[in-house]
Structure 1
Amino acid sequence: MSKKDEFIKIYTEHIKREGSVEFLDFLCSSKSDFFIAPASTRFHGNYAGGLVEHSLNVYYCLQDYLSRDRVKEQYQMNYSQETIALVSLLHDVCKINVYHQEQRNKKVNGTWVQVPYYEFEDSMPYGHGEKSVYMITPFMKLSREEAFAIRYHMGFSNEDPSRNVGYTFEHFPLAFALSTADMEATYYCDSMQK
């Protein structure tokens, strides 16, 4: 099964709220490069299809994190399969249509050759997590916790003041869980798939 098919299968099995079909139609349309885009220019998932792979990795990491007894019993973090799928699969939709493949010179074995690389150009620079929330909400209503989780999934690595991140993690535990899953996927799962 391709990563695109795997994504669509999980999405359609779990995300049922009003507008979900239309948002998936957008992701699959010619207006979106979600399934062929990289996840970054130089770091994790910096290859065609890296974005959908990263999104799936975050989904599996979040599922694993939330399945732990300590998380369920002591932290009382119990979320629906719809919420888990929605925040993990869609947390990085802000990366749609922002990476463009270019060519540059690189010295390989003493010889200059043309190699492809990705360049970042965002015509709607609305931030990172907030842009994902902004892109989803015309299609689907998000709960407050889902919106905060997507908005703050970058955790302390974002440019937001740390007091906002700390407040969010304390008051919206799903944000901490998604950030943890995103970091695990970025630094471990995505790099293993190169």
Structure 2
Amino acid sequence: MGYKEEFEEIFRSKITRDGSEALFEWLSRTDFFTAPASTKFHCACLGGLVQHSVNVYRTMMEKQFDPETDNEESFAICGLLHDVCKAQFYKEGTRNVKNEQTGAWEKKAYYMVEDSFPYGHGEKSVFLIERFLRLKTSEAVAIRWHMGGFDDAVRGGSFALSQAYEKYPLAVKLHLADLESTYLREKGTSAVRARK
């Protein structure tokens, strides 16, 4: 089973609240299932975004899920949808790169950002999801702050992250799963770096 099929199976079996079908249909009309997850780092490849989304969900369920306190639908929403802000976000282009062995310049494919809706990262995902279905407060906070210390607001001096993590354990669990997926499970998944 491919990542798109696994995503759809998890989505349809775990996310059942009003608006979920409309959200899935919208995702299907975007490049969500073919887009990369980054420009050159983890999952910088065709279908990388859906691969990363499934990986984060799996990691959350394996490492963070407590059946006494956690909700499977919330984990599916956060794991699968935390990066919907990256749909319609990347564009593939080419640039000239010097081949170190031959000395010749060669065209190499790469991904670049072309953000038609510059609204932030986590907050953009929350906004896009909520056009279709209502998020619980814990889900919205988790998705908003899933970047942790890499978030622009945090780097700019905001202290809201620590308050969010203190009040909403789901936010911590999503961030940890995102980190593990990105830096450990998805190591070596960049087609762009492999092309060098």
| TM-score, normalised with respect to structure 1 | 0.91
Matching residue within 87, 108, 117 for 2:110: 117
Deviations 1:113-167 (A, max 9, x none): 1110001011111000000000000100000000000000001111223521111
Gaps of 5+ in 1: none
1:86 aligns with 2:77: yes
Other-structure match for 1:47 = 45
Matching residue within 174, 183, 186 for 2:170: 174
Other-structure match for 2:140 = 147
CA–CA separation in structure 1 for the residues paired with 2:131 and 2:117: 16
Contact 2:4-2:50 within 8 A present in 1 as well? yes
Contact 2:44-2:189 within 8 A present in 1 as well? no
Between 1:152-161 and 1:90-99, the stretch displaced more is 152-161
1:18 aligns with 2:21: no
In structure 2, the residue corresponding to 1:191 is in which secondary structure?
Answer: coil
Deviations 1:45-77 (A, max 9, x none): 11111100000110011111224xxxx49xx7x
Gaps of 5+ in 2: 191-196
CA–CA separation in structure 1 for the residues paired with 2:172 and 2:188: 23
Deviations 1:93-114 (A, max 9, x none): 0001110000101122222111
Q: What is the aligned residue count?
A: 185
Q: CA RMSD in A?
A: 1.4
Deviation at 1:192?
Answer: 4.3
Q: Percent identity?
A: 43
Contact 1:53-1:190 within 8 A present in 2 as well? no
| TM-score, normalised with respect to structure 2 | 0.90
CA–CA separation in structure 2 for the residues paired with 1:156 and 1:176: 12
In structure 2, the residue corresponding to 1:103 is in which secondary structure?
Answer: strand
